[in-house]
Structure 1
Amino acid sequence: MIRIISSWAIVFSAITLFLSLVAPVLLAIWFCKKFGVNFSVIMAGALTFIIFQLVLRIPLLQLLTLRYPNLVPEPQDTAALLLYAFFLSLTAALFEEGGRWLVFKFLLKKQPSWQNAVGFGLGHGGSEAILLVGVNYIFHLLFLVLIKLDLNPFGGTMFYLLENSKAQLLQTPAYMFLLAGIERMFVIPAHIAFSILVVLSLAKSDYKYFLLALAGHFLLNLPTALTVFPYGIVVLYVYLATAFVLALLWIQKAKKYF
């Protein structure tokens, strides 16, 4: 039986591409115009993610893995996977929330407003969506279309890359291509909520808000380990949807604290 790429896989991938690449930019532009926020605040948030996650944390984790190859657990070792998820979640919280605190402390300390905190979070969460999902889905969608049309105009390395991707893409349920985009939309409000907490910690000289941001970020990342369990992906997305609603409620409520 010859298997072909589902049209739904292409549609869902296109939706994810829009949600993770186009939507964050449109949202940032709309917010800056509506609330009079300088776009440099958005860029500061974006650069915070790039520097503290992509330039510092991920390369350090890669170096650590090279030095200690047994650090990454085997898929069947559930206890070790949970411990590793704890470690990754903790380092993500420390680097990203620490980065937010440093940037606002030394670059934006004269601008501790709700609008700037939200704009900063939009830049941070938006850049994460664009760089971790959006850019990848440009090529992902291209590959799906080429496979669907049974075309391979590439030569050399790209030819083998497309051929190797084909089997994996054919085995992936179509709905999975939508989940990455939904996840990014669920997570961006959380980044805004964390940014508000960090700015409040500086504006009020009260570190409890920073600790709440650390704890929130840690708890947001930790359930990724659930995917190793039956129905874990369902539980994960219900969890993220709950975090999405709570983040939106906090973003609105936080206005009165400034």
Structure 2
Amino acid sequence: MALSVVVTFAVVVLLEIVVPLALGYWIVRRFGAPWRVFLLGALFFIAVQVVHTPLVLVTQAPLYLALLPSGTTTALAGLAVYLGLMAGLFEEVGRYIVYRYYFRRRGIPLTRENGLQFGAGWGGVESIFVAFLVLSGMVSYIVLTGDAGVIPLPDDPAVQAQVEALRALTPLDILPGLAERMMTITLHIAWSLMVLAAVVYNRKALLALAVLWHAAVDAAAVYLAQTQGILVTEAVIFVFAVFGLAYIFMEWRRMGAKAAS
């Protein structure tokens, strides 16, 4: 067991929880968007996943098996596109419904500040959930690679291979996950503003664009992670995140100009 790996695990867990909360706090202080909107973003992300996640778990294996006769590459690509579209449809249509019906009925203004905070809550709670998964990974690493032999392991080659893979971990294997969370939060804010714009300007094309953009990011992540490795995957997500950040600034100025007119 390497102490540097344990420390990296702990730092990643801490930052994946603290950064989204700090972002929400900054938005409250800087723009006056209430914590309530951050919590609504978190709540509706969970609500969408209650339906989305079980549906994906039930359907992805049969779809992959159905596509497998066409070749593993085709099957993986088809599965990646399917998973991406499912994520895009559920999450972006979910955002649209919340803005158009829930926000209006509750008298929550459809402002750029609230769109920013809603996206921070949506992406932030996802980051917090991932942090708990990383925490479970840290516990597994400590238990299975510790010198004290916390639990007896079966003399099974598959189990031994998993333990050796854990022992081979370095901090550089863990840090990309933290970078991905930060980039994903950026994208969730961009998508939240784009869907908000679809409601405010009554332009369904922006909703469709948000769905396709989200689908492209998730599909690329699934496919590239299996074929090109983590570094290439994170590089592609970084490019998407840069476009997301550029869109945030563009839409922020446009909504500000509209509000001032």
Deviations 1:2-45 (A, max 9, x none): xxx33332233223212322211222122212211111111111
Residue matched to 1:193: 190
Deviations 1:167-200 (A, max 9, x none): 4412444422111111111110100000001111
In 2: Cα distance, 1:201 partner to 1:154 partner: 54
Q: 5+ unaligned residues in a row in structure 1: which ranges?
A: 156-161
- CA 1:83–1:68 in structure 2 vs 1: closer, same or farther (change >3 Å)? closer
CA RMSD of aligned residues (A): 2.7
Q: Do the aligned partners of 2:16 and 2:178 also contact (CA within 8 Å) in 1? A: yes
In 2: Cα distance, 1:101 partner to 1:226 partner: 29
Residue matched to 1:101: 96
AA of the residue aligned to 1:64: T
Q: 2:84 is paired with a residue of what secondary structure? A: helix
AA of the residue aligned to 2:16: S
Q: Do the aligned partners of 2:120 and 2:185 also contact (CA within 8 Å) in 1? A: yes
User: Map of 1:19-38 to 2, 5 A cutoff?
Assistant: 19-38=15-34
Q: 5+ unaligned residues in a row in structure 2: which ranges?
A: 153-158, 256-261
Q: Do the aligned partners of 2:224 and 2:232 also contact (CA within 8 Å) in 1? A: yes
Q: Do the aligned partners of 1:19 and 1:185 also contact (CA within 8 Å) in 2? A: no
| Greater mean deviation of Cα atoms: 231-240 or 243-252 | 231-240
Q: Which runs of 4+ in 1 moved over 6 A?
A: 66-69, 162-165
Residue matched to 2:44: 48
Q: Do the aligned partners of 1:6 and 1:174 also contact (CA within 8 Å) in 2? A: no
Residue matched to 2:118: 120
Give percent identity, aligned residues only: 26
In 2: Cα distance, 1:11 partner to 1:65 partner: 35
Aligned length: 245
User: Map of 1:97-246 to 2, 5 A cutoff?
Assistant: 97-109=92-104, 110-131=108-129, 133-147=130-144, 149-151=146-148, 166-224=163-221, 225-229=223-227, 231-246=228-243
Residue matched to 1:79: 74
Instruction: Quote the offset at 1:140 in angstroms.
Output: 2.2
TM-score by length of 2: 0.83
Q: Among 10, 13, 17, which residue is 1:17 paired with?
A: 13
Residue matched to 1:159: none
TM-score by length of 1: 0.84
AA of the residue aligned to 2:52: R
- CA 1:137–1:72 in structure 2 vs 1: closer, same or farther (change >3 Å)? farther
Q: Do the aligned partners of 1:101 and 1:199 also contact (CA within 8 Å) in 2? A: yes
AA of the residue aligned to 1:95: F
